[in-house]
Each structure stands twice: as structure tokens, then as C-alpha cells.
Structure 1
Amino acid sequence: MARSSSSSSNTTPQKHEVFISFRSEETRKTFTSHLNGALERVDIITYVDKNLERGDEIPTTLVRAIEEAKLSVIVFSKNYADSKWCLDELVKILERGRTKRQIIVPVFYGVDPSDVRNQRGSYAEAFAKHETNSEDKTKVREWRNALVEAANYSGWDCNDVNRTEFEIVEEITKDVLEKLDRANVSDLDRQIAKMEQLARLQDQFYHSIITVENLKNRNATIQRVRELKMERSIRLLRLTPDMLSYMNQNNDNDDDDYLFPSF
């Protein structure tokens, strides 16, 4: 089942977790397609821009797609820097990354990371054209700085001749999934740790002063920890809305199973 959403000037993209920035002409039918398919197979919803009619500026729908993503994969290919559109995407992605509200995963496909960082080789050629054709020198400098910043993130170098593209794609997919899982449950992990600490204190208090009220308080905290752990498991399972609806219906019918033990 396809779970990627695509760009359109007239529609709002579906809810997604990952935004993929790439040079369409180079990798849309090869590496990016393979990576997107691998992410879909592990139930990660991606946003892939399939709009080939591009103007000078990226549309608001695409900016919103970048802002709503939890993680962005940037596929740096040989001619990525030729595209002003790609460079503007990169700037927006890094803006989100600086607020620590988005994870950034650079992938270097057919290009050396140092060439991206230092704008050498094909990247030097691309910027020679940008410097000549662009009247906005500030924007060109912003693009250069963005490439330096992005290349300094921990990422993936696909130029290892000892590994197949399939192996590399699978490793990137596993890495993305692990990063998303940590991000998706980090708030719950903090809550669970605090509630477990509270439960231990309440247990000590109950054993020093044994009352029904103290027992109720301790049991209520323990029950809350169970609920949070259940929610954590549900997030990691990436259950679909219809499956969650089914679970909620069952929970409504099984409320008696969650009553505090009798004293």
C-alpha cells in the first residue's frame, strides 16, 4: 500500500513523517524511488515532491510539507546544487533543524561529502553559474552556508563500492526508523520515568502509613504508568487510525478490567 504523499498546488499533503529533498532529474526513478519504497515498507509516510513544473520559488504547500515533517532526508547528488529549488528546500530544512524540531539525515549519492561541504567539482560549477546569473548575492551566500551546515550533519556516504545500493537503502531506512521511533516516544519516556519515580515514593509512603487513600493513590499512579506504556507501544507499532478506533471500542467494553484491585 503506497503511503507517500506528493506535492500539488491545489491540495494539502497527507500527514507524513519524512520529507525527501532530491534532484528530480537524477534520482527520482532510481535511488530516491528505492529509498521511498523502503520507507513505505516499514510504514513510514513520506512526502515526495513530484511536481516537475517549477518556478523561481518553492510554493507554500512545499514549505508547509517541510515544516510538518519530523525528519528530512536530503539526497545530495552530483547536480543537486544546480537547482535553485533544491537549495531553497535545503535552507528551509536547516531552519527547522536549528530549532531542534526536525531531524536531518544527509545522504551523499554519487558525490563526495567534502565536495558538498567545500563546493568543489560539480558544486563549484553550479555556484559559478549562480554567481553569474543571480542578482541576489545574499541568497547565493545563504545557499553556500547551507551546504556547509548540512554536510556537517552525520549522514550516509553511498560511494562504498563494497556495498550494493539495496544494502545502503536498507541501512538508511533502519536508521530513519530508529530516529523517528526515538522522537515519537521521547515525551512518553520522560513521563513514564517521572510517574515510576512517583510510584516508588508513594509505595514507600504507603508502607510507612498504611491507609486506603494512600493505596488508591499508589495504584492510580501505577495504572497511569501502564497507560503510558501502552500508548508508547502503540506509537512504535504505527497503528493506522482504523486499528486505533477498533482498540478504543474494545477498551470501552472492557473498562472493568482496569478497575483498581479491591482492598
Structure 2
Amino acid sequence: MFLLMSSNSHHWNLMAVASSSASPQEKYDVFLSFRGADTRNTFTSHLYAALCQKKINAFIDDEELKRGEQISPSLLNAIEQSKISLIIFSEGYASSRWCLEELEKILECKNSYGQIVIPVFYGVYPSDVRNQTGTFGKVFDELEKDRQEMLQRWRTALREAANLSGFDSDVIK
């Protein structure tokens, strides 16, 4: 299963293309990584509905993580069991430690297992994600300063993900 996305004006076209083989551990076609407060009830919910309509088995976390809680092992397993991860970078994505931990896991799966990773830049510029600048960088800088080791890992992960070929909502309009 492979996912193709294209835009015609403001309409997204999704198409699933079957691949020749799937690993038995793969449970989902697509894992959606997003910051709920930014896109859950707008872009992400519409994308998820479109994927389901095309019979693409997508994982979306319906739970809101409360401040201070850790990412659940079941969520990390869902990432591992997905063929494709779509990372929806939004203005507040980098303010969520949960999103950044998901991002690290997604890139680990990309590098270890060849998982396909597609970034979607929703209302942010790829260069702002890559370099943690602009509004995206400001929210990232607000994370705890005493976690410098984690901040450096997250900076590296953001840079790697932003360097991948993806979709930029400002260009698609």
C-alpha cells in the first residue's frame, strides 16, 4: 500500500496503490502525527476521513495527552506497525513534547525499517521547521531549558524531517 496525495485547487486527491508485500507486523497503512490543539478538528480530521473513505487504514490518536503525561507504549507500537507516517507540522507542533517524541520514533522507524515518512507543512514554512525559526521556533524555545540533551535530539529530528520531500500548504493553495 502506498499513498499518493495531490492538490487540485483546494481539494486533496488521495489514491492508494497496492504494494507487493507487507510485513506481518504492519497493522496500519498510515500513522498521523499532529498536534491536536492545532489541527485535530480541521485539517487532520478531514485528512483522516478522506483516508478512511479510500479504505486506507489510518491510525489517529483520539486521546488528548494531559500535560506531564508520557507517550504511551501503545502509541509507539502503532508507529512501528505503520507503513507510512504523515507528520503534520503546524505552528504549535514543537511545543508538544509528545509530538517530538513521536517524531523521534517515526524517524527511528524510517532509518531502521525503511518506513515511508511524509511531512506536511500546515501553516508553517519547511525552513522554519528545519531551523526552528519564526513562530515555530519561538514555541520550541519555550520548552524547558534544563533538558538540553532532549532539545538537541529534537532539533536534529526536526531538521531531518523537514529535509524530507513533503507537502507545503502555502504552496498548494
**CA distance in structure 1 between the partners assigned to 2:129 and 2:93 by the alignment:** 9
1:83 aligns with 2:96: yes
Is 2:146 the counterpart of 1:135? yes
TM, length-normalised to structure 1: 0.54
Q: 2:44 aligns with which of 32, 36, 39?
A: 32
Aligned pair 1:18/2:30, yes or no? yes
Partners of 1:96 and 1:53 in 2: how far apart? 22
What is the identity, as a one-letter code, of the residue corresponding to 2:135?
S
Q: Which has the higher helix share?
A: 1
Match of 1:147, SS? helix
SS in 1 for 2:142: helix
Return the alpha-carbon distance in structure 2 between the equivalents of residues 25 and 159 of structure 1: 20
The gaps in structure 2 that reach 5 residues or longer are 1-25
- Per-residue CA deviation, residues 8-38 of structure 1 (Å, 9 max, x unaligned), is xxxxxx9321100001011001000111111
Larger-gyration structure (1/2):
1
1:230-245 residue pairs with structure 2 within 5 A?
none
Q: Which residue among 165, 168, 172 is the counterpart of 1:154?
A: 165
What is the alpha-carbon root mean square deviation over aligned residues?
1.6
Q: TM-score, length-normalised on structure 2?
A: 0.80
Residue 116 of structure 2 corresponds to residue 115 of structure 1: no
Larger strand proportion, structure 1 or 2?
2
What's the CA shift for 1:123? 2.2
- The answer to whether structure 1 residue 97 and structure 2 residue 110 are counterparts is yes
CA shift digits 1:90-119 (9 cap, x unpaired): 000000001243100000000011000011
The count of corresponding residues between Structure 1 and Structure 2 is 147
Instruction: Structure 1 unaligned segments of length 5 or more: list them.
Output: 1-13, 164-263
Residues 42-90 of structure 1, C-alpha deviations (whole Å, 9 max, x = no match):
1101110111133442010000000100100000011110111101100
Letter paired with 2:148: K
Query: Do the aligned partners of 2:35 and 2:92 also contact (CA within 8 Å) in 1?
Result: yes
Q: What amino acid does structure 2 have at the position aligned with 1:150?
A: A
Q: Distance in 1 between matches of 2:155 and 2:65?
A: 25
| Cα displacement (A) at 1:134 | 4.2
